[in-house]
Structure 1
Amino acid sequence: MIQRFRYKFIAISTAALLFVILTIVGSICTLTYYQSHQEIERVLTILVNNDGQIPRKGIRTTDNSQPQFSREGLHQYRYFAVLVDNKNQVTEVQDDHIATVTPQDARAMTDRLVRRKVHSGQLLYRGVNYAYKIRNKNGEKVIVFLDESLLMARTRSLMHTGLILGVIVLVLYTIVLTLYSRRAIRPIIEAEQRQKEFITNASHELKTPLTVISANNEMQEIINGENEWTTSTKQQVTRLTKLINNLVSLARMQEQPTLTMLPVNVSQIAGDVASSFKSVISTEQKQFNVQIDEGLVANADENTLRELLNILLDNANKYCDPQGEIDFTVSSSNHSKNIVITIANSYKDGKSLDAKKFFNRFYRVDESHTQGKKAGFGIGLSMAQYIVKQFKGKITAKYTNGKLAFIVTLKEVGK
């Protein structure tokens, strides 16, 4: 249990850091990508406003918050300009600032843009992305193409570096967390250990006075005969003994290492457990409906699975209404590769119950913690929940059609 908690602690902490890293790296990449496109837009605007030429005078922009460009700075960009007359014929190609585009390429790209009739955007030509901007001037057009490769390469490099650093940080954090996680959860381990020791020691200390009380009660019955007081004492001793045994069983169950999971015949085990309860339920004039599909196999521990079914059937019999019904169904799910075990009992007072609390230890329906027959669900269901978790299954409770039902789902093998 502690080991599973440790792994969960590591997984949650690592997931939290992963979320933070993705948020930071994603924000940086998004901002860098946005700034690159803004830079491309500003450079195109400057060039197209100057007929595709780098201006000889100072470069001014209307937005003072943006970085300013110098004439020398503009020479770092690879671009070319095309002049088009009012008949959409190319009259001039200015390709002094680019070496990879020929005049024929420039004309081909211009023809594609003229058909588009869009004044700005991107154009993919021979595997290279070009940003372009068109300016109308006296019926003619000035089109400036800017090679995005350099700018976007820097952006991709930054993104790639950010991702690599993020992965490195995540791996280092996970390694350090794994090495020191036991120290981090040491107080929880110690508290859990003290709790188990307390339960074990207390059970041994309580068994002695209970044995003495039981013996004294039997002596009173021999001397004075059985009466309502001795009967009540006997019932309470039995109840306390069962509670102590359950507490010890739960503590020992949690101390055990992970169960050895092997394919077991759930149908056969369920049939054996149902047979053992049939006479007990019939004696109390309750109807026992059993429906078990044959050949259902799941990975589990056979003895622990029997204990699980015994707990649930005992709980159903205990809290079933007088002359009510108990349903025990084991079937294969139609929608998934699961075995569904359903144990339900008639319980007319179940509408007001909170099914989510059934698996809490010592849960009781009423606030006064009375000792009546239906005062609470003890720790049996808590043990059942722990067993199902060991089987990597799921257990739920619900109240429907006047019946309280517990549903166990296990992974079916061989389906």
Structure 2
Amino acid sequence: MGLRSRYLCALLLVIVTIVGSISSITYFRAHQEVNSVLRILSDNEGEMPARMIPNQPQLFSQPHFTRESLYQYRYFSATLNRQNKRMAIQDDHILSVTPGEIQKLTQRVLKRQRTQGRIFYKQTVYAYRVKNNGGKINVVFLDESLMLTKAREVTYLGIFLGTISLLLYTVVLVLFSNSAIRPIIQAEKRQKEFITNAGHELKTPLSVISANTEMQELLNGENDLTKSTKEQVGRLTKLINYFVSLARLQEQPQMTLSVIDASQITNQVADNFKNVILQDGKHFKKSVTSDLAVRANEHYFYELVSILLDNANKYCDPHGDVFLNLKLGKRKKNVILSVTNSFVDGKNVDYNRFFERFYREDKARTVSKKKSGYGIGLSMAQSIVKSFGGQIKASYSNGKISFIVTIKRQIKNK
């Protein structure tokens, strides 16, 4: 997702939150107003109070009424005795409902045996309230269209203004974002180009140093000085290759992906690393389910498995275990690649930070100075997995650390 898309999504989220909150509060206040008016009418047997309603402290959610303000509402009521024989109907404040219809509505409400609720009649919703007054039953009906219409108008106005704001912001963003973002994009591009160019330039003197060291060994034999020089040349060459690979990976966000045989590639990498791990005095096991396919780049998937196995071998405890596993997820929709190694002293290590570039944790990096890493491999692995649309995480349990990759499964074309 591009930078503009993130800004638009953020603004849309803000607008939806504001409009949704205003609409919810407006509808809540409208229903509170309906209930309050019904309560006032019910307490006065369906009539307006004879005197002005005394001013009382009002909560935020409760509307404030005066005797005059009550005349804006449309309502009617019926008062019956215990045998449901009509005694009186009050319809002075309604024109669309006849006394006969009021009697039918009252009987419908009484059959429900509920003290309050809503009833639909002639495309109008009436809120009602039933109250027992001694030997009488008073039923008050209130047309709530006025209050709900106001709430709907506020909602529509909020949606309209929110849409206009989003469109205006989009226009402004398109017109002015290029000039604002261009320096950042250019700086990032120059940085990547510098890494790539510097990597290529550094390889030449390293090749010369390596050749001179080998010549010196031919003339004078190998010694600690030449051996150390070759080791440092190898380390620096590997570091440069990491830099160049990471820069190239970031330079092509639209990586060419295809359906590849993950099982075959994983087996190939595992076979290449097996002897290296065994020569370091560690135990290696693998479990690879056959014919598992994912949508990825073949070269970078190979690189991903290599990074994880190299990392596991590098930080595995002496004479510890390295285990590689490729299998289907529980629902058989994902392919799970996990690489686990023994790491007894890893209880208090923040494994999530391992994916930060150049991150170094003393407890995790003291296995061997000779094989210490650069803090780039796992960051590169995370970038590769994201390019595949997958996820990678680290977990620690029972003295073992695992790096788990989840990628959506694909069906191979036969």
State the 1:383 CA deviation.
1.6
CA contact (8 A) 2:315 2:343 kept: yes
Indicate yes or no: 2:11 matched with 1:14.
Answer: no
Indicate yes or no: 2:400 matched with 1:403.
Answer: yes
Number of the residue aligned with 1:251: 247
Gaps of 5+ in 1: none
State the 1:410 CA deviation.
1.1
Q: 1:346 to 1:104 in 2, by over 3 A?
A: same
Q: 1:23 to 1:253 in 2, by over 3 A?
A: closer
2: CA distance between counterparts of 1:79 and 1:235?
93
1: CA distance between counterparts of 2:380 and 2:82?
86
1:114-263 equivalences under 5 Å are 114=110, 122-125=118-121, 128-133=124-129, 139-140=135-136, 143-174=139-170, 176-177=172-173, 180-263=176-259
CA contact (8 A) 1:6 1:182 kept: no
- Picking from 383, 386, 394, the partner of 1:389 is 386
Q: SS in structure 1 opposite 2:16?
A: helix
Further displaced range: 131-140 or 259-268: 131-140
Number of the residue aligned with 1:110: 106
Q: 1:357 to 1:374 in 2, by over 3 A?
A: farther
User: What is the aligned-residue RMSD (CA, Å)?
Assistant: 3.5
Indicate yes or no: 2:52 matched with 1:60.
Answer: yes
Which residue type is aligned with residue 406 of structure 1? Answer: F
State the 1:285 CA deviation.
4.5
CA contact (8 A) 1:364 1:375 kept: no
Gaps of 5+ in 2: 59-63
State the 1:136 CA deviation.
6.8
Q: SS in structure 1 opposite 2:152?
A: helix
Further displaced range: 203-212 or 327-336: 203-212
Q: 1:96 to 1:324 in 2, by over 3 A?
A: closer
Number of equivalent positions: 405
Q: Map Cα deviations across residues 161-217 of structure 1 (whole Å, 9 max, x no partner).
A: 323332343344345435544444444323322321332343244334434433443
1: CA distance between counterparts of 2:181 and 2:341?
41
State the 1:339 CA deviation.
0.7
Number of the residue aligned with 1:270: 266
Q: 1:63 to 1:268 in 2, by over 3 A?
A: same
Q: 1:290 to 1:133 in 2, by over 3 A?
A: closer
CA contact (8 A) 2:53 2:65 kept: no
Indicate yes or no: 2:20 matched with 1:26.
Answer: yes
Which residue type is aligned with residue 97 of structure 2? Answer: V
Q: 1:93 to 1:205 in 2, by over 3 A?
A: same
State the 1:331 CA deviation.
0.9
Q: 1:103 to 1:194 in 2, by over 3 A?
A: same
Give the TM-score normalised by the residue count of structure 2: 0.82
Give the TM-score normalised by the residue count of structure 1: 0.82
